[in-house]
Amino acid sequence: MAAARRSPRLKDVAEAAGVHISTASRALNERTAALLNPQTLERVRETADGLGYRVNGMARALKTRRSLSIGMVVPDITNPFFPPTVRGAEDVLDRAGYSLLLSSTDNDLGKARRQVAAMLESQVDGLLLAMALRDDPLVNELRSGNAPLVLVNRTIDRGGVSAVVPDDFHGALEAAEHLYSLGHRRLAFVGGPLATSNGARRRASFDQTVARLGLKEVAALEAVAFDEDAGYATAQDLLTRHPRVTGVVAGNDLLAIGIIAAAAERGIACPQDISVVGFNDMLLAGRLQPPLTTIRIPQYDVGARAAELLMSLVDDPDRNPETVLISGELVIRGSTAAPRAAD
Amino acid sequence: MAAARRSPRLKDVAEAAGVHISTASRALNERTAALLNPQTLERVRETADGLGYRVNGMARALKTRRSLSIGMVVPDITNPFFPPTVRGAEDVLDRAGYSLLLSSTDNDLGKARRQVAAMLESQVDGLLLAMALRDDPLVNELRSGNAPLVLVNRTIDRGGVSAVVPDDFHGALEAAEHLYSLGHRRLAFVGGPLATSNGARRRASFDQTVARLGLKEVAALEAVAFDEDAGYATAQDLLTRHPRVTGVVAGNDLLAIGIIAAAAERGIACPQDISVVGFNDMLLAGRLQPPLTTIRIPQYDVGARAAELLMSLVDDPDRNPETVLISGELVIRGSTAAPRAAD
DNA sequence: TTGAAAGCGCTAACAT
DNA sequence: ATGTTAGCGCTTTCAA
- Tell me: the pLDDT tens digits for A110-124? 999 999 999 999 999
- How many C-alpha atoms does A90 have within 13 Å on its Cβ side? 27
Q: How far is the CA of A26 from the C1' of C12 (A)?
A: 10
Distance from CA of A17 to the nearest CA of B (A): 21
The secondary structure of chain A, three-state, reads CCCCCCCCCHHHHHHHHCCCHHHHHHHCCHHHHCCCCHHHHHHHHHHHHHHCCCCCHHHHHHHHCCCCEEEEEECCCCCCCHHHHHHHHHHHHHHCCCEEEEEECCCCHHHHHHHHHHHHHCCCCEEEECCCCCCCHHHHHHHCCCCCEEEECCCCCCCCCEEEEECHHHHHHHHHHHHHHHCCCCEEEEECCCCCHHHHHHHHHHHHHHHHCCCCCCEEEECCCCCHHHHHHHHHHHHHHCCCCCEEEECCHHHHHHHHHHHHHCCCCCCCCCEEEEEECCCCHHHECCCCEEEECCHHHHHHHHHHHHHHHHHCCCCCCCEEEECCEEECCCCCCCCCCCC
* Residue of chain A whose Cα is closest to the Cα of B6: A146
Q: Would you put residue A301 in left (φ > 0), alpha (ψ -120 to 50) or beta? A: alpha
State whether A281 and A317 are in the same domain. Answer: no
What integer pLDDT is reported at residue A341 of this predicted model?
A: 73
Q: Is the CB of A37 under 7 A from strand D?
A: yes
What integer pLDDT is reported at residue B342 of this predicted model?
A: 57
List, for residues A185-236, the tens digit of each pLDDT value: 999 999 999 999 999 999 999 999 999 999 998 999 999 999 999 999 999 9
Question: How far from B13 is each of A62, B39, B48, B50, CA to CA, in Å?
Answer: 19, 15, 6, 9
Nearest by Cα to B277 from B176, B207, B180: B176
DSSP state of B287: G
State whether B289 and B178 are in the same domain. Answer: yes
What integer pLDDT is reported at residue B1 of this predicted model?
A: 37
List, for residues A138-159, the tens digit of each pLDDT value: 999 999 899 999 999 999 999 9
Do residues A46 and A40 touch, judged by C-beta distance below 8 A? no
Nucleotide nearest to B23 (CA to C1'): C2
Question: How far from A233 is each of A226, B262, B315, CA to CA, in Å?
Answer: 12, 36, 45
Beta carbons of B67 and A82 less than 8 Å apart: no
Classify burial at B273, counting beta carbons within 10 Å of its beta carbon; exposed 0-12, middle 13-18, buried 19 or more.
middle
Note the strand D nucleotides within 7 A of protein beta carbons.
1-5, 7-13
State whether B178 and B271 are in the same domain. Answer: yes
Q: Which residue is nearest to nucleotide D2 (CA to C1')?
A: A23
Q: Is residue B290 part of a domain?
A: yes
Do residues B275 and B343 touch, judged by C-beta distance below 8 A? no
Q: Is the CB of B56 under 7 A from strand D?
A: yes
Q: Is residue A309 part of a domain?
A: yes
Q: Is residue B333 part of a domain?
A: no
State whether B120 and B181 are in the same domain. Answer: no
Beta carbons of A86 and B103 less than 8 Å apart: no
Q: Is residue B274 part of a domain?
A: yes
State whether A142 and A172 are in the same domain. Answer: no
Q: Is the CB of B115 under 7 A from strand D?
A: no
State whether A199 and A280 are in the same domain. Answer: yes
Q: Is residue A343 part of a domain?
A: no
List, for residues A297-317, the tens digit of each pLDDT value: 999 999 999 999 999 999 999
The secondary structure of B302-330 as a DSSP string is HHHHHHHHHHHHHH-TTSPP-EEEEP-EE
State whether B143 and B255 are in the same domain. Answer: no
What integer pLDDT is reported at residue A4 of this predicted model?
A: 47
Q: Is residue A342 part of a domain?
A: no
Distance from CA of B281 to the nearest CA of A (A): 14
Q: Which residue is nearest to nucleotide D11 (CA to C1')?
A: B63
* Predicted structure pTM score: 0.96
Distance from CA of B220 to the nearest CA of A (A): 26
d(CA B128, CA B309): 10
Q: Is residue A1 part of a domain?
A: no
Q: Check if A107 contacts B (Cβ < 8 Å).
A: no
| Chain B residues 279-318 within an 8 A CB cutoff of chain A | 283-284, 287-291
Q: Is residue B15 part of a domain?
A: yes
Beta carbons of A77 and B99 less than 8 Å apart: no
d(CA A103, CA B322): 27
Q: Which residues of B touch A61 (CB under 8 A)?
A: 58
Distance from CA of B339 to the nearest CA of A (A): 23
State whether B29 and B77 are in the same domain. Answer: no
Using DSSP's 3-state secondary structure scheme, residue B233 falls into: helix
* Residue of chain B whose Cα is closest to the Cα of A334: B289
Q: Which residues of A touch B123 (CB under 8 A)?
A: 56-58
A97 — pLDDT class (breaks 50, 70, 90): very high
CATH number at residue A314: 3.40.50.2300
Greatest Cα-to-Cα distance within chain B, rounded to the nearest angstrom = 91
A-B contacts at Cβ under 8 angstroms: 136
What integer pLDDT is reported at residue B341 of this predicted model?
A: 73
What integer pLDDT is reported at residue B343 of this predicted model?
A: 54
| pLDDT tens for chain B, residues 1 to 343 | 334 468 999 999 999 999 999 999 999 999 999 999 999 999 999 999 999 999 999 999 999 999 999 999 999 999 999 999 999 999 999 999 999 999 999 999 999 999 999 999 999 999 999 999 999 999 999 998 999 999 999 999 999 999 999 999 999 999 999 999 999 999 999 999 999 999 999 999 999 999 999 999 999 999 999 999 999 999 999 999 999 999 999 999 999 999 999 999 999 999 999 999 999 999 999 999 999 999 999 999 999 999 999 999 999 999 999 999 999 999 999 999 999 875 5
CATH number at residue A50: 1.10.260
User: Which pairs from A27-30 meet CB under 8 Å and 24+ separation?
Assistant: A28/A53, A28/A55
Distance from CA of A214 to the nearest CA of B (A): 36
Beta carbons of A76 and B61 less than 8 Å apart: no
| Chain A residues 119-148 within an 8 A CB cutoff of chain B | 119-123, 144-146
What integer pLDDT is reported at residue A312 of this predicted model?
A: 97
State whether B162 and B195 are in the same domain. Answer: no
Q: Tell me the β-bridge partners of A189.
A: A220, A249
State whether B33 and B180 are in the same domain. Answer: no
Q: Reduced to 3 DSSP states, what percent helix, strand and coil does chain B have, rounded to the nearest 5?
A: 45, 15, 40
Residues ≥6 apart with Cβ < 8 Å to B72: B86, B89, B100, B101, B102, B103, B127, B128, B129, B130, B152
State whether A190 and A248 are in the same domain. Answer: yes
Nucleotide nearest to B35 (CA to C1'): C1
State whether B188 and B161 are in the same domain. Answer: no
Question: How far from B141 is each of A106, A226, A320, B149, CA to CA, in Å?
Answer: 37, 43, 46, 11
What integer pLDDT is reported at residue A199 of this predicted model?
A: 98
Q: Which residues of A touch B102 (CB under 8 A)?
A: 86, 90, 100-102
What integer pLDDT is reported at residue B67 of this predicted model?
A: 97
Greatest Cα-to-Cα distance within chain A, rounded to the nearest angstrom = 91
* Residue of chain B whose Cα is closest to the Cα of A2: B144
What integer pLDDT is reported at residue B6 of this predicted model?
A: 80
Q: Which helix (H) or strand (E) holds B289?
A: none
- The count of structural domains within chain B is 3
Q: What is the mean pLDDT of residues A323-339?
A: 98
Nearest by Cα to B153 from B92, B98, B84, B205: B84
Note the strand C nucleotides within 7 A of protein beta carbons.
1-5, 7-13
Q: Is the CB of B22 under 7 A from strand D?
A: yes
Residues ≥6 apart with Cβ < 8 Å to B8: B51, B52, B53
- CA–centroid distance for B110 within its chain: 20
* Domain enclosing residue A86, as ranges: 64-166+299-327
Using DSSP's 3-state secondary structure scheme, residue B69 falls into: strand
Question: How far from A22 is each of A28, A43, A64, B27, CA to CA, in Å?
Answer: 10, 14, 15, 36
